[in-house]
Chain A
């Protein structure tokens, strides 16, 4: 799919020295620009990627993935980007999913496209605890945001300029995934889900959130709901 739109992939990074170069090298094979937001990594992340043709932004203190994505989107506004993609650094997303993620936006059918790992039935390789958690998170998201999706907290998303210039993430932590849905509703953005695959590697699982973090996310969301 060819397009003359300026498309930026935002990759939030925190201590991903082991895999970041692989993830970024793969992304560099696409025609999209890369905005890497280093959330104050303490490992060799910067040394691994400093020779790559990317936009490199660094937070001086660790703020969280939500804050890193917001920084990336703020920068994309200044770059005059037309579309941004949120893409996790740990190698859990597939580049092969990007064209279908972008398609509804480029065709003007949606402002926000969210990846879902459950649209084509439930894939077998999702760890059971995660599967149960995600099903409950869907319900909580639905009740809190009014958007009923087939997946919750999937990191792969695409947003057009209307969406990423309007959406302002205040949740610095992982609760941003729910906050995005709240913002989508608030700004009456058109959204769509498309099926994507998540690669559950040993690395991405060890780097990923533990199941207990679900409680932190829920309390963040509830606190901010009552004390905006």
Chain B
């Protein structure tokens, strides 16, 4: 085994357990995150598979393939978080508004 595998494998297993336990009811998110962690584990244990998939897609190295996928994944995460923040902002606005109006009406 290569040294990097000693670092990555336990980390990925920890993340896998984290997502499995934390995302209880959000099945789609759980499916995606657990799937990504399992794939990452697979690529760590069998590093050559990523390279052969990359070559098949016309990319030189397996690492490059993983970087491209990560960029797409991380950008999607940012957008999802942005939408979540917008939703929270709207709920907060409604609460603050209702409270202001109730206070002005002497309720």
Contact = CB atoms under 8 A, between A and B. Distances in A.
B96 A61 contact: yes
A226 to B, nearest CB: 10
B89 A57 contact: no
Interface string A35-72: 00100000000000000000111111101000100110
A80 to B, nearest CB: 13
Interface residues of B, number: 16
A37 B101 CA distance: 10
B100 interface: yes
A223 B92 CA distance: 19
A70 B93 CA distance: 10
Given A74-B97, A227-B82, A57 B103 contact: yes
Nearest to B99: A60
Interface of A is mostly: mixed
A170 B90 contact: yes
A61 to B, nearest CB: 6
B101 A71 contact: yes
Interface string A67-85: 1001100110010000000
Contact of A67 (B93, B99, B104): B93
Contacts, number: 41
Interface residues of A, number: 19
A54 to B, nearest CB: 10
Interface centre among B79, B92, B99, B101 (most CB of A within 10 A): B101
Nearest to A170: B90
B105 A71 contact: no
Given A227-B82, A227-B83, A172 B93 contact: yes
B82 A58 contact: no
Interface in A84-143: none
B63 to A, nearest CB: 32
B100 A37 contact: yes
Given A60-B100, A67-B96, 14 more contacts: A57-B101, A59-B96, A60-B96, A60-B99, A63-B92, A63-B93, A71-B97, A170-B90, A172-B93, A223-B82, A227-B79, A227-B82, A227-B83, A227-B86
